[in-house]
Amino acid sequence: MQNPEPPITPVTEPRPRLMRQYELVERVRAYDPTVNEDLLNRAYVFSMQAHGTQMRASGDPYFSHPLEVAGILTDMKMDSTTIATALLHDTVEDTLASQDDILKQFGPNVARLVDGVTKLSRIELQTDQAKQAENFRKLVVAMSEDIRVLLVKLADRLHNMRTLKHLANPDKRRRIARETLDIYAPLAQRIGIEKMQDELEDLAFAELNPDARNSIVARLNFLRSEGEGIADKVLKELKEVLSKNGVEAELEGREKTPYSIWRKMQRKNVGFEQLSDIMAFRIVVSSIEYCYQALGVIHSHYHVIPGRFKDYISTPKPNQYQSLHTGIMGPEQQRIEIQIRTNEMHEVSELGVAAHWGYKAGAPRTDGLQYRWLRELLDIVEHVQKPEEFLENTKLELFQDQVFCFSPKGDLIALPRGASPVDFAYAVHSRVGDACVGAKVNGRMVPLRTQLRNGDQVEIVTQKGGTPSPAWERFVITGKAKACIRKFIRTQQRTEYVLLGKSILEKLCKQEGVDFSDKAFDAIAKNFQSTTVEDLLANVGASLQPAREIFNAAYPNHRLKAPEKPIGVVPAMKARPKTNAPLTLKGLIPGMAVHYARCCHPLPGDSIVGIVTTGKGVTIHTTDCETLESFARAPERWIDVGWSDEKDKADMMVGRLDIVLVNAPHSFGGVTTVIGKNNGNITNMKITNRTPEFFDILVDVEVKDLDHLTNIIAALRANKAVNSVDRTKGR
C-alpha cells in the first residue's frame, strides 16, 4: 500500500525559519497586552547563546527546539513566565548554564519552573522502568505545585514527537512513542487539551502501528471521496433548521483522528462504514439555555438514535469538559454525532486548563490541587512503596473513562470504567474495602469481580475482621484498591516471614542445645541492618540474611561446626503441589479439574468466573456470558477466579468470531491475510449463512489473550470486505 498523506493537523503551522525575537513578543502581545517584553527578550537571547552551535538530529540548530516549544505555548495563549520557561527549558540539562544562572537572571518563578521541567526531562534518558516510574512520580508532584510545568513538558514532548522521524534508532523511536501514548497523551486528556492529545496520539500511532494507521487513512480517504459534499449539506441543513427556530449558532464538522477511530474499533461493536464514524459535528451557541434549546430543535426534527444522548453540561467530565452529545439520523439518512456547547465550553474543550491559565485569569496562580484527579494521584504516591507499582496503577487509571455509581444513601462515587465492587468499597474508605466480603448491585448479590455500570447502586457487605483477598488484585483497577491490597499482602507476608525466621532460628538453637531467646537476637539486630528483632527474623525468613551467621553472632560461644543438613527449607516454603489447574488461572483449589466454556471461549484478559459442577470440576465463563443466567439461583456454585500474571507461559487459546463478509472476490483472502499478519492462527472456519450480498462466517482463532483478539478484530473492521466482526458470546 502507498503511504497515504497523514491527516495530522498541526497545532502550529510549520515555520520555515527561526522566529525572530520581536515576532515572539508580538505573538504574545496579540493576546496579552501586559506581555513582559523584557523577560521574553532576555530569555530568547540567553537560550540562543547557551545552545550556541548545538544541533538537533534533524540538522536544525538546537535553538529551534525551545523556540518551537515556546511557539506551541503561544498558541495556547500562555503567560510570559511560561513562554520564558519554554525558551529556557533545556538550558540547564544540555548546556553550561546552571540553575543558579537562571535564578540570578530570571528570578525565582522562572527558575522554579525550569527546574521542574529539567527534572522531568530526565525521564527520557531512562530506559529502566523503575527509574522512569520514579521520575513520573516527580512529574506528578511537580505539576501539583504548578501545572505550567506540565504544560511546558507537554509542548516539549509534542515538538519532539513532530520531529521523531529524524531519530535514527528505531528502538528509541518506539520507546518514545510508547511513552507518549502511555503517559503524555492521557495527561493532555486529563487536563483537557484535546488538540494536543489528538496530535500526540496520532504521531505515536504512526510510529507504533503504521500498518493499522495506513489502512485507516486509506479508508478515510475513500469514505471522504465517496461522501463528497455530504458534510457540507449536513452543516447547511442543520444551520437552517436551527435558525428557523430562533437558535443562532456556529457550526463545524470535524474529522476524527485515525487513532481515535482505531480505539473505537477496538472498543465497540461498530464497523467503519458510516459518516458518524469519521465526522463529528459541533454546534456552538452563546449560552447554556441555547444549548438545550438547540438540542430540543434537533431532537424534534430528526430521528434520535437511542442511547447516544449524554449531558456533560449538568455532569461535567473530570477534566471540566462540558457539552451535550447526541446522535441522530441526519439529513442524508446518515447517522451523525453532534456536540452542542457554548463558546466558553468550546474554549475549555480545546485548551483545557490552559483556558483558565492565560493572562485572563489575572494572576496566574496555578494551584493544580483544584483538580480532583491530581489529588488522587498524590494519594497513590503516598500509598505505594515501589515506583513501578505507581506507574502501573496510574497508567491504567489515566486511560479509563468513568462510571458513576451510587451508595445506598445516594452518594455519587465516580470510578474508572471497568471498576468492580471492591474498587467501589475502597473508594468509600480503605476500612470498608479491607472488610468487604460481598456486594449487592441494584439489590442483587453479585460476584465481587462484576464490572460496575453507570447508575448502579452498590451496597458493600462487610464483616468485622474481614481481610482483603490477594485474588482481588487480579480485577481491581483503581490505584487506591491496588495499593491497599498490596499493602495488606506485604504486611501478611511479613508476618509469615517473621514466623518462618523464628522457626528457623529455633531449630538451630535446639540443634545446638541452647534456649532460643528474643533478647540474644535483639542485642545483635543492629549489626545486621535491622532496627528490631522482628525485622531481623523477617530477613532470616525471607532468606535475606543467613541464619547461621545470625546465630553465631547471637551465641558467640556456641559457634556452629560444619553445616549438617541445609536449614531454612520448611514445608510451608516448598513449591506448591502440582495441580490440574492451567498455569494461567488463579483462585482455584489445587487438584480441581478445569474446563473453558465452549459458549463464550474466555481469553486471558477477559473478566471471568468459575462455575462448579459436581463430578466435573470448574467451568470457566466470561462474566458477561449469557449461559450464566441459568446459574443465578445457585450462588454457592460461583467461585472467583482470575488470570495469573504469567501470561508469557500461557498457551495460545481459541477465540471465536462471527464475521459478516461482503460476497466478493478476495473477501476470504483478505480475512485470512489480516488475521495472519496479526499473528493469529485460524483453527476452524465455517460458513453459517449465505446471501447474494453477504457471507456469515464463524472463525476460530488461536490468540495469546484478549488484547491480541481485540487487535485482530479492530484490524478486520478496517478491512473493506468486512461488514461486521463480533466475538461470539454465550451460544
- Exposure string (b/e) for 421-435, b if CB count within 10 Å is 16 or more? bbbbbbbbebebbbb
Q: Phi and psi for 76 in degrees, rounded to 5?
A: -95, 10
DSSP 405-471: EE-TT--EEEEETT--HHHHHHHH-HHHHHTEEEEEETTEEE-TTPPP-TT-BEEEEE-TT----GG
Give whichever of 154 and 247 is closer to Mn ion, judged by the CB atom.
154
- The answer to whether 506 touches 476, Cβ cutoff 8 Å, is no
Q: Which residues pair with 208 in a beta bridge?
A: none
Compute the least distance from the CB of residue 67 to Mn ion, in Å: 11
Shortest approach of Mn ion to residue 88 CB, angstroms? 10
Only one residue has cell 493499522, namely 212
Is residue 344 part of the annotated active site? The answer reads no
Of residues 206-235, those binding Mn ion (CB under 5 A): none
Region at 23 (left for phi over 0; alpha for psi -120 to 50; beta for the rest)? alpha
Nearest distance, CB of residue 128 and Mn ion, angstroms? 21
Nearer to Mn ion, 90 or 606 (CB): 90
Rg for the chain, CA atoms, rounded:
30
Segment interacting with Mn ion, rule: CB under 5 A, options 155-163, 551-559, 636-644, 690-698: 155-163
- φ, ψ dihedrals at 726, nearest 5°: -140, 150
How many helices (H) does the chain have, and how many strands (E)? Answer: 27, 21
Q: Does 156 bind Mn ion (CB under 5 A)?
A: yes
CB of 65 to Mn ion, least distance (A): 6
Q: Which of 26, 37, 93, 392 is catalytic?
A: 93
Coil/strand/helix, residue 266: helix
Smaller CB separation from Mn ion, 90 or 182: 90
Considering the complex, what minimum distance in angstroms separates the CB of residue 100 from Mn ion?
A: 20
CB of 48 to Mn ion, least distance (A): 15
Find the helix or strand (DSSP H, E) in which 337 lies. strand 335-342
Which of 94, 115, 273, 347 is an active site residue?
Answer: 94
Nearest-approach distance from CB 161 to Mn ion, in angstroms: 11
CB of 351 to Mn ion, least distance (A): 21
Q: How far is the CB of 124 from Mn ion (least distance, A)?
A: 9
**Dist. CA 22–CA 26, nearest whole Å:** 6
Contact flags string 517-536 toward Mn ion, x per CB under 5 A: --------------------
* Span from 43-51, 89-97, 382-390, 450-458 in contact with Mn ion (CB under 5 A): 89-97
Closest CB to Mn ion among 121 and 319? Answer: 121
Measured CA angle at 37 (ends 35, 39), to 5 deg:
105
Nearest approach, Cβ of residue 91 and Mn ion (Å): 10
Binding residues with Mn ion: total (CB under 5 A): 2
How far is Cα 365 from Cα 35, in angstroms, rounded to an integer? 17
Task: Name the one range near Mn ion by CB under 5 A: 10-18, 151-159, 446-454, 520-528.
Answer: 151-159
Q: Which residues in the 266-285 window bind Mn ion by CB under 5 A?
A: none
CA distance to 32, 202, 724, per residue, from 212 (Å): 42, 12, 17
CB nearer to Mn ion: give 159 or 480: 159
Residue nearest to Mn ion (CB): 156
**90 near Mn ion, judged by CB under 5 A:** yes
**10 Å Cβ neighbour count for 636?**
7
606 DSSP 8-state letter = B
Nearer to Mn ion, 90 or 201 (CB): 90
Q: Which is nearer to Mn ion, 92 or 718 (CB)?
A: 92
Residues near 551 by beta carbon (within 8 Å), at least 6 away in sequence: 505, 508, 509, 512, 558, 560
Length of the chain: 731
Q: Does 198 bind Mn ion (CB under 5 A)?
A: no
**Residue 670 belongs to what H/E stretch?**
helix 667-677
> Are 627 and 602 a contacting pair, CB within 8 Å?
no
Q: Which of 163, 402 has the CB closer to Mn ion? A: 163
* Cell numbers for 482: 491496588
Query: Rounded to an integer, what distance in angstroms lies between the CA atom of residue 32 and that of residue 43?
Result: 18
> What angle in degrees, to the nearest 10, is found between the helix axes of 194-208 and 170-179?
150
The answer to whether residues 608 and 602 touch, using CB atoms and an 8 Å cutoff, is: yes
Beta strands in 539-667 (DSSP E): 585-586, 594-596, 608-613, 617-622, 638-639, 642-643, 653-662
**Residue 677 grid cell:** 499478519
Between 89 and 474, CB nearer to Mn ion: 89
Hey, what amino acid is at 617?
G
Lay out the site mask for Mn ion across 43-72 (x = CB under 5 A, - = otherwise): ------------------------------
Q: Least CB distance from residue 156 to Mn ion, whole Å?
A: 4
Nearer to Mn ion, 152 or 500 (CB): 152
727 sits in which H/E element: strand 722-727
Write each residue from 109 to 148 as x if it is in contact with Mn ion (CB under 5 A), else as -, in one continuous string: ----------------------------------------
Complex with Mn ion: residue 60 or 459, whichever CB lies closer: 60
In the block, residue with C-alpha cell 459436581? 614
Q: Which residue, among 491, 486, 487, 490, has the nearest Cα to 471 in the 3D structure?
A: 486
Known active-site residue 211: no
Name the site residues for Mn ion (rule: CB under 5 A). 90, 156
- Catalytic positions: 93-94
